Amino acid sequence: MAAEEILELSNGRITAKIAAWGATITSLLVPDAHGNLADVVLGFDTLEPYMKGISPYFGCIVGRVANRIKEGKFTLNGVEYSLTINNGPNSLHGGLKGFDKVVWDVVERKSGECPSITFQYHSKDGEEGYPGDVTVRATYSLPDSTTLRLDMEAVAENKATPINLAQHTYWNLAGHNSGDTLDHSIQIWGKHITPVDENTIPTGEIMPVKDTPFDFTTEHKIGARINDVPGGYDHNYVLDSGEEKNGLKHAAKLKDSSNSRTLDLWTDAPGMQFYTANYVDGITGKGGAVYEKHSGVCLETQGFPNAINQPNFPSVVVQPGEKYKHTMLFEFSA
């Protein structure tokens, strides 16, 4: 599998381009009510910026453990593990060379009614400090005319290990080159967040969002209260109140005001990082578009950040021979 390869997944209505590098969505064309297509994900025209480390996790799958682990340390079965530190005092998104910075193998491609591409990566014992060998699979498919589905699974082969995969696409439903997303509105089916300390590590508290700027239990514009949140939104929501469909919970509904594209996200993960691209700062992307602060929205369904060190959070530990599974459904409508 050539690292440079970018594969196309299309059903005539929506077209995704997905790279073997990081199993990364580099482009996603979605129609509006009039059939006009826009590329609704931030990214680059070529793989070079991704491979050079210029990308702030645009479109990729992050792991072995998404989000932050406090001081890059955890103890499992009496053994203390030390991970690569790459985010202040913490280990973020798997370390310096997480799953977003490796070439995945393409192990299956299907055409027909539900076209799909399956990527696989083998993570070795000790990689970035994590215990045990893990085989990871990610299948992107188009089960419906305007639906993208992602099924992630991982098997811990010989040691217990934390596993928490997330898809890190930055969405802009008006088109990747259309400026900030503060006029997008969002509803999040979460009544609580996990508040964080000064190093963005959860305190362990489960905090109700009622009467705070974090309350998106009803639809609000992203920009309406963002100035009341120092730095912007970068918080894990507890997905505790969504209706279910086919075993998946409704996590979020994102709408662009100007052209009425809507994204409904469904998942079976316990949490979702809502991140408003606070650290994106003048990155030149596709077609010369310059991505500034808040130019995209990340809806990263996940296990809770630092769960490996928080006994009251849902466990992210996978035992040898067991399988981690995580499904995301991106439903577009106009």
* Model confidence at 146: pLDDT above 70: yes
For residue 85, being part of any structural domain is answered with yes
Residue 48 contacts residue 26 (beta carbons within 8 Å): no
Domain that holds residue 59: 6-333
| The pTM of the whole model exceeds 0.85 | yes
* SS3 category, 148: strand
The binding site consists of 67-68, 168-170, 234
Q: What CATH number is attached to the domain comprising 79? A: 2.70.98.10
State the alpha helices, DSSP H only, in 83-139.
none
What CA–CA distance (Å, rounded) separates 125 from 109?
A: 28
For residue 186, being part of any structural domain is answered with yes
Active site residue: 168, 184, 250, 294, which one? 168
Q: Is 184 a catalytic residue?
A: no
Residue 39 contacts residue 176 (beta carbons within 8 Å): yes
How is residue 104 written in tokens?
Answer: 């995945």
* SS3 category, 143: strand
- The per-residue pLDDT for 139 is 98
Tens digit of pLDDT for each residue in 59-88?
999 999 999 999 999 999 999 999 999 999
Q: Measured between alpha carbons, how far is residue 109 from residues 23, 35, 116, 239, 328 in Å?
A: 14, 27, 6, 32, 19
DSSP for 28-79, written as a single string: EEEE-TT--EEE-B---SSSHHHHTT-SSSTT-EE-SB-SEEGGGEEEETTE
- What is the percentage of the chain residues whose pLDDT exceeds 70? 99
For residue 1, being part of any structural domain is answered with no
What CA–CA distance (Å, rounded) separates 107 from 139?
A: 10
Tens digit of pLDDT for each residue in 268-324?
999 999 999 999 999 999 999 999 999 999 999 999 999 999 999 999 999 999 999
Q: Look at the alpha carbons of 156, 159, 162, 168 in this order and tell me if their dihedral is positive or negative.
A: negative
* SS3 category, 139: strand
Provide the Cα torsion 56, 61, 63, 66; round to 10°.
60
What CA–CA distance (Å, rounded) separates 101 from 50?
A: 8
Tens digit of pLDDT for each residue in 91-100?
999 999 999 9
Q: Measured between alpha carbons, how far is residue 222 from residues 42, 59, 127, 194, 319 in Å?
A: 18, 21, 37, 19, 39
For residue 95, being part of any structural domain is answered with yes
For residue 260, being part of any structural domain is answered with yes
What CA–CA distance (Å, rounded) separates 308 from 176?
A: 35
How is residue 29 written in tokens?
Answer: 């064309």
The binding site for beta-D-galactose consists of 67-68, 168-170, 234
How is residue 188 written in tokens?
Answer: 């999040």
- The per-residue pLDDT for 236 is 98
* Model confidence at 1: pLDDT above 60: no
Residue 206 contacts residue 290 (beta carbons within 8 Å): no
Quickly state the pLDDT bin for 242 (edges 50, 70, 90).
Answer: confident
Quickly state the pLDDT bin for 5 (edges 50, 70, 90).
Answer: confident
- How many domains in the chain? 1
For residue 308, being part of any structural domain is answered with yes
Q: Is 8 a catalytic residue?
A: no
For residue 22, being part of any structural domain is answered with yes
Active site residue: 127, 176, 184, 300, which one? 300
